Amino acid sequence: MQNAVHGMSLDGPKGLGAMHKPLLLVYGARDALVQPEASFNRARILNPGIIGKFYPDSGHSPFLEQAERFNRDLSDFVDAAIRH
């Protein structure tokens, strides 16, 4: 997986770059499968409106590892998107 992720490409015009809806990307800073900051920075190049959250004490599954924080962040994101 680690080798494949580095070679994956994002189809800019049809993928993240074409997204016109609010988008939240959540990363565990200790993720062993992807490089969180590099992944987020690539996504931001394609879509500068993307919001990122980094969980310093989580690995690949912050929604399980820090469920309470994840649920709160997701709820806040949805509330903000509805108000916008």
List of domains in the chain: 2-83 (3.40.50.1820)
Percentage of the chain modeled with pLDDT above 90: 61
Q: Which of 46, 41, 37, 45 is nearest to 16 (CA)?
A: 46
Q: What is the pTM of this model?
A: 0.80
pLDDT score of 53: 97
pLDDT score of 10: 58
